[in-house]
Amino acid sequence: MSVTEAAEKAAAAGRVEVRDAVGNLLADGDKVTLTKDLEVKGAGQTLKRGTVIRSIRLTGDPQEIDCRHETIKGLVLRAEFVRKL
């Protein structure tokens, strides 16, 4: 095994796989849509099913994604409620 292969395996071991509601692998910068209506705590509003969220960022948690909506900054969604476009 070469040094680069070992480095790639170590990086892959530290990387968290995040999957959406139907099992698609998510990555930073992906565009997703909501699969159900979600009440946003602290914002006093509901994001409707079908709302498109652009440019997501993965967190260290395999079930959470960090994203931004036009009206809500610093939004964290559970991956089970989104589907990759």
Q: What is the pLDDT of residues 11-38, one digit of tens each?
A: 555 667 899 999 999 999 999 999 999 9
Which residues is 7 bridged to in the sheet?
none
Chain centroid offset of residue 75 CA: 11
Of 48, 45, 53, 42, nearest in space to 77 by CA: 53
Task: Give this prediction's pTM.
Answer: 0.76
Whether 54 and 36 have beta carbons less than 8 Å apart is answered as no
3-state secondary structure of 29: coil
The DSSP letter of residue 10 is H
* CATH architecture, domain 3-84: Roll (2.30)
pLDDT at 11: 56
